[in-house]
Amino acid sequence: MSPVPGGGQPTIVSIARQAGVSIASVSRVLNGLGARRETVERVERAASELGYVPNAVARSLKDGRTRQLTFALPDIGNPAYVAMVRAVQGVTKTAGYRLLLHSTDAVVDDELAVLRSLGDRTSDGLIICPIRVTDDHIDALTCAAGPVVVMGSLPSGVPVDSVRADSVTGAALAVRHLHDTGCRRIGFINGPSDTVPGRNREEGYRAALTECGLAYDDALVVETGFGIEAGARAAGELLGRRPDAVFCANDQLALGAARALHARGLRIPQDVAVAGMDDSVLARSVWPPLTSVDLGSTERGRRAAELLVERLDGTAPIPRGTTATAPPRLVVRASTALPTENTRST
C-alpha cells in the first residue's frame, strides 16, 4: 500500500531496510532458500506489508531468460489458429511460460520483424506460422537468436524445427470423398497460390482429380483470399459453371460459399455439396454442418509447443531440424453426404 519513501514500487532494498536484514537474505527467503526462522518471518512480513512484487525484468536481465514465449500467427480471427493458440497455451502454461501472441496478418515484413525480435530477449522462444516462405525467412530462421519452431512446411535442409500439416493428402481426401458421393464437377475455391497452404491444397486437388479420372478444368477453380467474404464472392463466380460440389481450402471459405449457395436458393448438398478444411468450430456450428478435413490444428499446436519447451529445458538432446507431421482426417458431415446415405458422423 505505502511504497518506499521516494516513490515507486517496493524492491528488495525496501524490504531489507524494513526487515533490518541484507538484500541477500531477502532474496534467499523470497526464493525459499534456507534462513533462520526469525529472518524468514521478518522478511515475509515486510514483503507483504509493502505489497512487494518481484521485478521480472530485473530477474530476466540477471538470468537471461524471460519465461515468456511468443506465438506469431497470421490471423487471430481464423478459428483454426484459435484452436492452435488454445493448444499452445495449454502446454506453455503448464511449463511455466507466459504466452505472447502476435498477429502478423501474414505480412512478410511483420514476420521477419518477429523473427529478428527474438534477439531482443523479450521472449525465450518462438512459434511462428509463416504463410509464405521467402529466402529472407530462411535466412532469418537459420540465424535466429533463439529457439524457433515453425508451423508449416519448410524446404528440407533448413535446420529449424517444424510441425506441419499434410494438406496435400488432406485436400485429396476431400476431393475423393466428393467423387465417391457422386460429384463429377468439383469446383475449388483456393487461397492465394503464392502461399504454402495454397500451393499444397491445389496439388492435392489436382492429384485427386487425376486419380478419380476427372479432368482439371480451369473454369472450376477460383483463387482468392482465405476469408469468409472471399469465399462468398468466389462461390458466386463459380456457380455460373454449374459445379455439383465446391471444395474450399478452409472452413472460412466454405462458410462463405455455403452462404452464397443459400442466398441463391441452392440446397446443400442436394444441389451442390460443400467441403472445407481445418475442421474448425465453424464446420460443426453452421447448418448444414460442413464436411471438413481435420489438419490437426490442435495437435500441431500442442506438438510445436512441446518441441519448443523441450528445446528450452535443454533436457532431451533433440536433433536440430526435427519435423513432425500431423496426419489429416476427413470428417464427413451433412454438407456432402446425402441424407439417404447414412454415412455421416456427428
Binding site for a second copy (CB under 8 A): 1, 9, 51, 53-58, 60-61, 66, 68, 76-77, 79, 82, 85-86, 89, 98-103, 116-117, 119-122, 143, 145, 228, 255-256, 258-259, 262-263, 281, 284-289
Show the cell assigned to 204: 492435392
Say which entry of a second copy, DNA, none residue 167 contacts (CB below 5 to 8 A, set by partner kind). none
Q: Please say which residue, 107 or 318, places its beta carbon nearer to a second copy.
A: 107
Say which entry of a second copy, DNA, none residue 39 contacts (CB below 5 to 8 A, set by partner kind). DNA
3-class SS of residue 253: helix
Q: Where on the phi/psi map is residue 71: left (φ > 0), alpha (ψ -120 to 50), or beta?
A: beta
Q: Please say which residue, 116 or 242, places its beta carbon nearer to a second copy.
A: 116
Q: How far is the CB of 51 from DNA (least distance, A)?
A: 12
Q: Please say which residue, 65 or 185, places its beta carbon nearer to DNA.
A: 65
Say which entry of DNA, a second copy, none residue 324 contacts (CB below 5 to 8 A, set by partner kind). none
Buried b / exposed e along 208-219 (16+ C-beta atoms within 10 A): bbeebebeeeee
Q: Please say which residue, 34 or 265, places its beta carbon nearer to a second copy.
A: 265
Number of residues that bind DNA (CB under 7 A): 29
Q: How far is the CB of 29 from DNA (least distance, A)?
A: 8
Q: Please say which residue, 56 or 219, places its beta carbon nearer to DNA.
A: 56
Q: What one-character DSSP code corresponds to residue 185?
A: S
Are 345 and 313 in contact by the 8 Å Cβ rule? The answer is no
CA distance linking residue 42 with residue 36, whole number of Å: 10
Residues 55-84 that bind DNA (CB under 7 A): 55, 58-59, 61-64
Are 106 and 128 in contact by the 8 Å Cβ rule? The answer is no
CA distance linking residue 304 with residue 73, whole number of Å: 13
Show the cell assigned to 84: 492452435
Instruction: Look at residues 315, 324, 309, 325 and name the one whose alpha carbon lies nearest to residue 147.
Output: 309
Q: How far is the CB of 200 from a second copy (least distance, A)?
A: 25
Show the cell assigned to 66: 524471460
3-class SS of residue 73: strand
What residues line the site for DNA (CB under 7 A)? Answer: 8-9, 11-13, 21-28, 30-31, 34-36, 38-39, 52, 54-55, 58-59, 61-64
